[in-house]
Amino acid sequence: MKRGDIVFFIVCLLAVLVWGCGKNKLSVTLAGSTAFQPFAENLAEQYMKTHPDVTITVQGGGSAVGVQSAISGAAQIGMADLVILPDEAKALTTTIVARDGIALVVHPSNPVTNLTSQQVRDIFNGKIKNWKEAGGSDVPITVVSREAGSGTRSSFEQIMKDIHLTKDALIQDSNGTIRETVANDANAIGYLSHGLLNEKIKAIKIDGQECTIESIVAGKYILVRPIYLLVKGAPEGEIKNFIDYVLSSEGQQTIKAKGLIPVK
C-alpha cells in the first residue's frame, strides 16, 4: 500500500539520521551571557576558519545559565557578564576577556543631560517620581529595568549601590526591548549595554562623565562590568586554545570592532 511505503521510508530516513554523523570529537560548547553570545559566535567563526578540525557551538540562556553549565559540564566554557560572580562560581577558573559599559538612557526629547549618582539612585528607588525634580519637565518618570536575574541589572545595582527598585518600574527582558521601550516613551529612563546605543535614544552623563570607551578605560565612567569566561578546573587543550585566541590581539581587535571594550 502506497501510504505504508511512505511511512516505512520516513522511518528508515529517521533511523539513518539517528545513526548518521556522530558528534565531532573536537567540539567545544560555550553557554551563558546573551549579551556576549553574538561576540562569542563571531569569535568562534573566525577561530574555526584557521582551525577547521574544531567545532565551537555557542548557546545563550543568560549569565546564570553560563555559571550553571560550566559547573555541570553541559558546556565547556561558561560566559557571564556579572560584576560580582555568585558563590558557586568560586570553584571555576575565571578569565576576563572584555568589558562592557552600561549606558543610562532616556528619550532624545528629554532635556536632561546629566544626573548625579544620588539622583540616579533616587529615581530607580522611586523617591524622585517627576522629571522636574531632576532638572527636566513636569512629567512623571517611567522607570524601566531588566529582570532580577539579568547580569546587566545586577551589575547596575551593585555599582550604583543601595538600589531597591520601585514597584512601579516596568521590567523588560532584554537590551533590545529596553531600547524600544525608552525610544517610544518620552518619560522613560533605562539602562542598557553601551554597544547598543543608537539615534533613537540618548545616553546621559552620570556625575558629569559620559559613557564612552575613553572615559571607561580611564576609569572615570563608573558603570562598567567585566565579561568572564568560566571553566571548571584549569583550561586545557582546545578550550585553552580558544580562550587564548579571544585574549590575543586579533580576538581583542574583533571585540573592540564590534562594540565591546577590550581587556587591555
Partner 1 sequence: MKLIGEKGVQRILSFTAFSALTALMLIALFIINEGLPFIFKYGIINFLSSSDWRPQSGMFGIFPMVMATLWVTFGAMVIGAPLGVAGAVFLSEFVPRPVMRIIKPIIELLAAIPSVVYGFIGVMVLAPFIRSYMGGAGLSVLAGSIILGIMILPTIISISIDSIMAVPQSYREGSLALGATTWQTTHMVTIRAAKSGIIASIILAIGRAIGETMAVIMVAGNSVKIPHSVLDSVRTLTANIALEMSYATGLHRQALFATGVVLFVVIIILNSIASLAIRKKIAKK
Partner 2 sequence: MRIPPRYTQRAAMTVLGGATFLTLVILVFIIVFVFEKGLPVISFNFLFSNSEDMGRAGGIFPTLIGSLLLPLLAIIIATPLGICTSVYLTEYTRESRMTRVIRFGTDCLAGIPSIIFGLFGFIFFVTTLGMGWSILSGGLTLAFMILPTIIRTSEEAIKAVPTSYRQVSYSLGATRWQTVKKVILPNALPGILTGVMLGIGRSIGETAAVIFTAGSSLRLPGSIFDSTRTMAVHFYILAREGISSENAYGTAATLIIAVLLVNLTAYWLMHLFISKRS
Neighbours of 94 (CB within 10 A): 16
The C-alpha cell of 44 is what?
568562534
| List 54, 92, 106, 169, residue binding partner 1 (CB under 8 A) | 169
Indicate the DSSP class of residue 188: E
Q: How far is the CB of 178 from partner 1 (least distance, A)?
A: 10
User: Among all chains, which residue has been given the C-alpha cell 545513526?
Assistant: 19
What is the spatial distance between Cα 175 and Cα 158, in angstroms, rounded to a whole number?
18
In the complex, least distance from residue 203 CB atom to partner 1, rounded to whole angstroms: 21
CB 155 within 8 A of CB 82: yes
Minimum gap (Å) between residue 79 Cβ and partner 1: 13
Give yes or no for residue 59 binding partner 1 (CB under 8 A): no
| Contact with partner 1 (CB under 8 A) among 48, 83, 112, 171 | 171
Give the span between the Cα atoms of 182 and 21, in whole angstroms. Answer: 47
Q: Shortest distance, CB of residue 116 to partner 1, whole angstroms? A: 25
Residue numbers 216-255 binding partner 2 by CB under 8 A: none
Residue 250 engages partner 1 in binding (rule: CB under 8 A): no
Find the binder of partner 2 among 32, 61, 151, 262 (CB under 8 A).
61
Q: Does 181 bind partner 1 (CB under 8 A)?
A: yes
Among 184, 240, 248, 253, binds partner 1 (CB under 8 A): 184
User: Which of partner 2, partner 1, none lies near 62, with the C-beta cut-off 5 to 8 A by kind?
Assistant: partner 1
Stretch that binds partner 1, among 102-110, 130-138, 140-148, 217-225 (CB under 8 A): 140-148
Using the contact rule CB under 8 A, the part of the chain among 21-29, 103-111, 115-123, 172-180 near partner 1 is 172-180
DSSP letters, 117-170, are HHHHHHHHHTS--BGGGGTS-SSB-EEEEE-TT-HHHHHHHHHH-S----TT-E
The one-letter amino acid at 35: A
222 within 8 A of 101, measured Cβ to Cβ? no
Q: Does 52 bind partner 2 (CB under 8 A)?
A: no
Q: Does 162 bind partner 1 (CB under 8 A)?
A: no
Q: Is residue 168 within the footprint of partner 1 (CB under 8 A)? A: yes
User: What residues have CB less than 8 Å from 261, skipping those under 6 apart?
Assistant: 98, 99, 100, 101, 213, 216, 217, 224, 255
CB-nearer residue toward partner 2: 7 or 218? 7
Of the pair 89, 246, the CB lying nearest partner 1 is at 89
Cα separation, 106 vs 118, in Å, equals: 17
Query: Which residue, 57 or 93, is less far from partner 2 as judged by CB?
Result: 57
Q: How far is CA 101 from CA 14, 20, 174, 222, 240, in A?
A: 48, 45, 16, 8, 26
Three-state DSSP class for residue 226: strand
Binding mask 188-207 for partner 2 (x = CB under 8 A): ----x---x-x---------
**Of the candidates 225, 229, 223, which has an alpha carbon nearest to the alpha carbon of residue 247?**
229
Task: Select from 43, 54, 65, 77 the one that contacts partner 1 (CB under 8 A).
Answer: 65
